[in-house]
Amino acid sequence: MSQQLDSARPLPGELPLEEAQDEPTRVPLKIEDWLTVIGMALLALITFANVLVRYFTSQSFAWTEELSVFLMMMVTLVAGSASVARNRQIRIEFFADAGSPARQRTLARFGALMVCAMFLLLAGLSVRIVYDHWYYQETSPGIGVPQWWYSIWLPVMALAIAARAFGLFLRRGRQP
């Protein structure tokens, strides 16, 4: 018995062809892609340099942990922005993909709007943290730089994710 493979059907673990292509967006998705690449490269270089220094000198760079935590946070937020823009965030497919196309579109728009609202709230609340770091002149424990240099990126990235979610909301509203 010979079975013919359907060329349009994806292999296990692959995305279907229609999902493999990114939807067109006004702000290019390459921004998040390159920020992720740069952040991961810096993280790898810093960690590798610290390993070499520890191996050869039995000492460690004190600043590497602080910078690594910051870079991991940035890469996580940038990747979150990319997943929202590409509509690849976690969802319960039983509910999201069931029903009529109108119901699916409505649920997708509702989900995008809720993501937007949550990240707008996060941005608003994190501005207070940045203000406190600036007002009380807190410094980082490892390097001694102002703490707001790190915390300022939380509201900025939360606003970027909210903007991507709102863009997804608008794109889902234009779908037939």
Residue 46 lies inside a defined structural domain of this protein: yes
Residue 80 lies inside a defined structural domain of this protein: yes
Total domains in the chain come to 1
Task: Give the tens place of pLDDT for each residue, 89-110.
Answer: 888 888 888 889 999 999 999 9
Reported pTM:
0.82
The residue range of the domain holding 38 is: 26-174
DSSP string, the chain: ---PPPTTSPPTTSPPHHHHSPPP-SS-THHHHHHHHHHHHHHHHHHHHHHHHHHHHS---THHHHHHHHHHHHHHHHHHHHHHHTT-S---HHHHTSS-HHHHHHHHHHHHHHHHHHHHHHHHHHHHHHHHHHHTT-B-SSS--BTHHHHTHHHHHHHHHHHHHHHHHHHHHH--
Residue 7 lies inside a defined structural domain of this protein: no
Going residue by residue through the chain (176 aa), what tens digit of pLDDT does each one get? 444 444 455 555 555 545 568 888 888 999 999 999 999 999 999 999 999 999 999 888 878 889 999 999 999 999 999 999 998 888 888 888 888 999 999 999 999 999 999 999 999 999 999 999 999 999 998 889 999 999 999 999 999 999 999 999 999 988 87
Residue 1 lies inside a defined structural domain of this protein: no
